[in-house]
Amino acid sequence: MGKLRKWKEKAYGCGVDPVVVEVILLALDGLTLNGMFGFDALEDGMHARMVAHLLDMTRTPA
């Protein structure tokens, strides 16, 4: 089993609503691509604020 698959299984089994988990994963994909390709789509400080908010979302059980 691949590392990504194991990681996703843990994410979906953590007690957070699966829809919230998927939103978080998609947002992280977008942030990663934004950084990789240097799209500069975010205002200063927004990346850190978004990551902090996504982490907060993981602390809310389903």
Q: 47 vs 2, 5, 7, 53, CA distance in Å?
A: 28, 25, 22, 10
Say what the pLDDT of residue 58 is: 86
Which one-letter amino acid corresponds to residue 21? V
Average pLDDT, the chain: 86
Q: Is 43 left (phi over 0), alpha (psi -120 to 50) or beta?
A: beta
Confidence bin at 3 (pLDDT 50/70/90):
confident
Say what the pLDDT of residue 60 is: 66
